Amino acid sequence: MPRAAPVPVEREVRLLDLPTHESLRAAHDLTDTGAAVSSGRRLVVVGLRDADRNVGWGECSALNAPTYSPEWADDAFAVLADSDRLDPAAHPMAAAAEEMARLDLALRVGGRSLVAHLADGRPTVDRLPMAAVVGLPAATAGRPASVDDLVGDVGRRVDAGARRVKLKVVPGWLGGPVRAVTDAFADLEVQVDANGSLGPDDLDELAGVADRLSAIEQPFTDVDLTRRLAGSCPTPILFDEGTPTAADIRSLVDADLGLGVVLKPPRLGGLGAAAEVLAWCAERGVPTAAGGMLECGLGRHALAAFAALPGLTITGDVSPARQWLAADPWPDLAVTDGEIVVPGEPGVAPIPDLDELDRLTVARY
């Protein structure tokens, strides 16, 4: 960081409505009838400008609706527009956006990259395996989705360069789909994420395919069920929704259940807090993965820098934003031969296309 960080003199908050060319359906995105609760991507960004007209940007990655966490995009916009309401304990993703904007401004002025700032002299990687997340399939052309649809979808991700695929699963969409994908792509790293939707009746089916998987993410909300699964298979089991705060992560690790965690900087209140939790986990040998939040190019650059840090042990959710966004004001991550290039330019991310930013802005403060 520069010795004297620039002092912002102007601040703006924008609510964006970004079109998507595919829907990433997860268990928490479905109603009781199985229909998706939202489409498109609502996203909040914060801009800070100093007296020399240097600008820093931060992204609040809260989702469209309060399904994954209590925060959601439209409410986060209201919270960030009225900064007196911003309580980091109650609004960690909103607080993370403020932190990212200040970091972006300071690092851009100081000519330093985010990965260098976070690593603080420790070794990092400069390439990451490109990942892809495949959501729950929807009915197409009036017919139910099939396992063949899933295999075709995964094949398109592999053709695009994905080295690892994470499948969203729910009860009834588990063992058969996993076997079909792993049979069709023998060299592909496959993970699953149930978003806590599975129950006791799914335990045997999940254990039966565990040896085909490199990680199982949040299979149950019940810790005892998770412990039983961990005792029956060697596959790393990661908590996500079950550990929303740094304190929750520490409690889980201290309980010595042999479980790992997904680290999502926005949910932990920002990049600095996430880097501290990662170092703490690494000291204790806890399996960890970097998790994504359907960010735009701005947040994806921040995620790639975080994922390059030492201590992460499991392939994370680092993929280009264009996998789901049809339009984005920020440049996307660079990909070479199936690998994400870790950003090394000053700041968090390149500057956005301001005309595109204006076009996609639906509210501004």
Contact status, residue 76 vs residue 91, Cβ threshold 8 Å: yes
Cα 138 to Cα 119: distance, rounded to the nearest angstrom: 41
Angle between helices 297-307 and 92-110 in degrees, nearest 10: 80
Alpha helices (runs of H) in 172-212, residue ranges in sequence order: 175-184, 203-209
Angle between helices 92-110 and 271-283 in degrees, nearest 10: 100
3-state secondary structure of 243: coil
Gap between the terminal Cα atoms of the chain: 29
Alpha helices (runs of H) in the chain, residue ranges in sequence order: 73-81, 92-110, 114-119, 147-159, 175-184, 203-209, 223-232, 246-254, 271-283, 297-307, 354-360
Which residues are catalytically annotated?
168, 264
